[in-house]
Homo-oligomer: A and B are copies of this chain.
Amino acid sequence: MSASSHPHFSPELLQMARWLAGDFCNREQAWENPPFFAQIRVAYRPLPTPALSGIGFYVEQAYGGHLEDPYRQAVVELRQTRSGMVIRNYRPLEPERWRGCAREQPDRLRHLQVADITYLPGCDVHVQQQGSRFVGATEPGQKCCVVRKGQTTYLQTRIELSENQLSSHDQGMDPTTHEQVWGALAGAFRFQKITDWQSELPMISGI
């Protein structure tokens, strides 16, 4: 499959995909602020097959010393829409089936199909290019529902992506008072890319 067969992948969407494809760590942030930032690893592994119409990634997020036990597994899809770029979020129906696929066994992602994931409505992240970075935020509407410790909240995410850095800020808000219930009070996580997987993007590598 060549890039020309994906006319809906704009140069900026492909740029975002290249920058996102990789394994990220916020080690510097943790060492600069002990003990107030956990050391986190987040991996965006390109999906090897076009299971989704956009550019798909399998995502694992884990504490630095516990990669084998991710606290978050997701599939995201970069899409170009008429109103701009969007990151769509999906949850795997059987997370344990995909555990380890971000780093140790990416080959198993060949088996991932649309039926294996469920779309999370209200959780699209709308992205804009601003100079040499991409900036995104959860779509308006306060509909990205997250139940945490029995409490219903809505998720507000902000991300910034540049060539080797990803920052993300998640906040869980009370749907009535709109006050923050959970999340990073200390601010965004600042990740540096430590492994680059852009060559695995099927629409770029031509594989």
Q: Write the residues of chain A forming the contact surface with B, with a CB cutoff of 8 angstroms.
A: 30-40, 61, 63-65, 71-72, 149, 182-186, 189
CA–CA, A201 to B186, complex, Å? 38
Taking CB as reference atom, which chain B residue is nearest A64?
B65
Q: Assuming the A-B contacts A65-B64, A65-B65, are A36 and B71 also in contact, with contact meaning beta carbons closer than 8 angstroms in the complex?
A: no
Which one, B34, B39, B149, B185, contacts A186 given CB within 8 A?
A: B185
Given A34-B63, A35-B40: 18 more A-B contacts, CB < 8 Å: A30-B38, A30-B63, A32-B149, A33-B182, A34-B71, A34-B72, A35-B38, A35-B63, A35-B71, A35-B184, A35-B189, A36-B185, A37-B38, A63-B64, A64-B65, A185-B185, A185-B186, A186-B186
Query: Judging by beta carbons under 8 Å apart, are A63 and B39 in contact?
Result: yes
CA–CA, A39 to B130, complex, Å? 35
CB distance from A167 to the nearest CB of B (A): 13
